[in-house]
Amino acid sequence: DGDQVIDFEEAALTGFNIFRTTLARITSARELTLIYDGLTRLLCNVYESGNDLNPHSSKGIQCYQEILVLFWKLLDENPLFLNHILTKCDISKIVTPVCYILYQSRKDVSRIGLVHICTFLLLKLSGERSFAVGLNKPFTTRLPCDMPLFTGGHADLISITFHKLVVNGSIKLVPLYSCFLTIISNISPYWRKMSLVGAVKLVNLFELLASPKFLFSDYKAYQHLAQLLEIFNNIIQYQYHDNQHLVYAIIRRKDTFGKLATMSLTRATSLYEKAYGEQVQRNSNEEARKRIISVKPHDGHGRGEIVQDDSDDEDDILAKNFEPTASWLSEFKDKMPFETVTRLLQHLVPVIDDVISRVDGVVDENVILSVLRI
């Protein structure tokens, strides 16, 4: 009919972008569903093309990074799109290809940007309750990669993927560790029926981040442990009766939790010296002063950048050559939410020990899991 789609006055404004404006103005439920189904179908091609019985019978697309960026912009520009896919669509359609891309990109330095896009996409979605609830849908897809087989939901898929990115990914992914754990933390209050594999991987990740080599790599490295404890606390408080596998995995690693909760300065210093003693002897404080010139992450343990500074400020030196102190230990204990896990262990460990003693040490995990359900 010749009417203008956008008024000239609006289009003439500084910073106007026709693409962003068009995305924001898509309001039809039918169109939003069409867009979501089309984008997810293209993304699923990434792993479906490798699942064919006849190799190369389906051609894999190469523009999936551009599709992910477009998906991100739709979420960013059109609030209706986010609400629509969470309430009217199958959210697992986007989770599966995103996790597969993350899993396959973990070692390739040239695909770090792709990992960032996928991570931020999941981070934005994880802030929505409907997304977290939707992840309980059973995961039945066979992905063409070495991901361990498990019987669980899409929350398990996300958790197992992030575990692999931490233990077997590029060093350049260290800055994303907090994002990985934040995503899991966001979905944890709604996570039902965690798989055995998912539970073991989460607790194994806790043990890794609690190792002296990681814990004493940086003054704030314990923050990753605090995030994992929040995840455990959320699941114990809100979904205890559906997650016996996690509860049992925590009980089996009770020593790791107990030693951290009762950490003393003497023990912290001893563990630090075992992990970094030789390095500390090589680098005196005087040498550290000379080297405070934009230190980049280089050892996989999250050391942050240090801005050039000609002063002998002690805090700057400690940032490079961290060593446990009384103030660090006090801050560590204040920020680590051990209470829920500690109460759980105090209550259940005697119960499980009693069950094991009655069967002369022959452990039947099914019996223990049934006890934990009560």
- 338-359 tens-digit pLDDT: 999 999 999 999 998 888 887 7
pLDDT tier at 280, thresholds 50, 70, 90: low
pLDDT in tens, 79-110: 899 999 999 999 999 999 999 999 999 999 99
* pLDDT given for residue 342 in this prediction: 95
Q: Classify the C-alpha dihedral 333-336-341-343 as positive or negative.
A: positive
Alpha carbon distances (Å) from 105 to 95, 115, 302, 359: 15, 7, 20, 47
Q: What is the mean pLDDT of residues 104-130?
A: 95
Q: Which of 218, 123, 230 is nearest to 179 (CA)?
A: 123
Q: How many CA atoms lie within 13 A of 69 on its CB side?
A: 7
User: What is the separation of C-alpha 39 from the centre of its chain, rounded to a whole number of angstroms?
Assistant: 24
Please, what's the largest Cα pairwise distance for the chain? Answer: 86
Tokens 């990681």 belong to: 214
Q: Is-above-0.75 flag for pTM?
A: yes
- Residues 96 and 157: beta-carbon distance below 8 Å: yes
In the predicted model, is pLDDT for residue 318 greater than 60? no
pLDDT tier at 336, thresholds 50, 70, 90: very high
Tokens 């039947």 belong to: 364
Q: Which two tokens stand for residue 353?
A: 């020990």
Residues with Cβ within 8 Å of residue 234, at least 6 apart in sequence: 185, 188, 189
* pLDDT given for residue 29 in this prediction: 94
Q: What is the mean pLDDT of residues 249-258?
A: 94
* pLDDT given for residue 13 in this prediction: 64
d(CA 259, CA 277): 21
pLDDT in tens, 173-200: 999 999 999 999 999 999 999 999 999 9
Where residue 14 falls (left for φ over 0; alpha for ψ -120 to 50; beta otherwise) is: beta
The total of other beta-carbon atoms located within 10 Å of residue 183's CB is 23
